[in-house]
Amino acid sequence: MTGPTRIIAGNWKMNGTGESLDEARAVAEALAQSPAAVRVALCPPATLIWRMKEALGAGPVEIGGQDCHAEREGAYTGDVSAEMLTDAGARLVILGHSERRAMHGETDAFVAAKVRAALSAGLEPIICVGETLAEREAGQAEQIVERQLLASLPEALAGQAFAVAYEPVWAIGTGRVAEPADIATMHAHIRAVLARHLGDSGDRAPILYGGSVKPSNAAETLSVPEVGGALVGGASLKASDFLGIIRAA
Ligand code: 13P
């Protein structure tokens, strides 16, 4: 079956200092010797993007940011723009992660503005959506995710390369992975919304699953229809675990 190119992306979140580059190097070296069947990316904290790019060069691991501001530049203390990420060596950027939506009050409209900024800077956005446990238990998961998608994905994405990550909030960092049947239902729903909203590019965009993906559950999760890869948190911090997931894809 030909489908979108699958991506295994590691989100280091607020973890990692210079020493952690050894883990990134170990991933790149293993993939240089035995290439992966998928695209592989690491998204370290902003402070490590340039250093990781220098350490890995033009090898098999792409580098991404974890967020960017919607404006190109200006008086936004502490923020990083999409241009700055590109300049530092990033090709991708995670946007709308549930931790930013919950802890930094990011709205769908703000996420959409960031997506536009990322595209203007030549970055490929990985746009995150996902329901909370209360929303799932209330039977609203698909409705919530559809609403997030429609409001977070600007029309500007038509014709552009991007990915969506479905990350149920209750599965992040909890060791609890969604059931394959629930992942299949949600990913099919996301595909239908993307195709309706964005045409061909909505048909082509990989839909990643995220939430407690580990080497032990990766093969099962990645074999679910319409799962186009994984967005991996904790298990991307150790080369051996991350490689276990990449090899399962
Ligand atoms: P964990 O893999 O640690 O559950 O994190 C998932 C995630 O939030 C990736 O963006």
Contact in structure between 229 and 185 (CB atoms under 8 Å): no
State residue 2's pLDDT score.
53
State residue 115's pLDDT score.
98
CB atoms within 10 A of CB 234: 18
Tell me, what DSSP letter sits at residue 178? P
Say whether 146 is catalytic: no
Dist CA 102 CA 216 (whole Å): 29
CA distances from 80 to 85, 88, 103, 222 (A): 7, 11, 17, 32
State residue 177's pLDDT score.
87
pLDDT tens-digit profile, the chain (249 residues)? 456 689 999 999 999 999 999 999 999 999 999 999 999 999 999 999 999 999 999 999 999 999 999 999 999 999 999 999 999 999 999 999 999 999 999 999 999 999 999 999 999 999 999 999 999 999 999 999 999 999 999 999 999 999 999 999 999 999 888 999 999 999 999 999 999 999 999 999 999 999 999 999 999 999 999 999 999 999 999 999 999 999 999
Looking at the DSSP bridge assignments, the partners of residue 231 are: 9, 210
Contact in structure between 38 and 5 (CB atoms under 8 Å): yes
Tell me, what DSSP letter sits at residue 69? B
Answer whether 115 contacts ligand 1 (Cβ < 6 A): no
Burial track 212-222 (b if 16+ CB lie within 10 A, e otherwise): bbbbebbeebb
Tell me, what DSSP letter sits at residue 89? T
Tokens at 96, concatenated: 């709308």
Say whether 142 is catalytic: no
Task: Kindly report the CATH number that applies to the domain delimited by 7-248.
Answer: 3.20.20.70
Tokens at 79, concatenated: 């923020």
For the chain, which residues make up each domain, given as ranges?
7-248
| Options 97, 124, 189, 226, the catalytic residue | 97
Tokens at 99, concatenated: 């931790």
Dist CA 89 CA 26 (whole Å): 19
Dist CA 73 CA 81 (whole Å): 6
Question: Cα of 238 to ligand 1 centre, how many Å?
Answer: 14
Answer whether 16 contacts ligand 1 (Cβ < 6 A): no
State residue 157's pLDDT score.
95
Answer whether 10 contacts ligand 1 (Cβ < 6 A): no
Question: Cα of 84 to ligand 1 centre, how many Å?
Answer: 24
Hunting for tokens 């035995």 — which residue is that?
Answer: 34
Answer whether 229 contacts ligand 1 (Cβ < 6 A): no
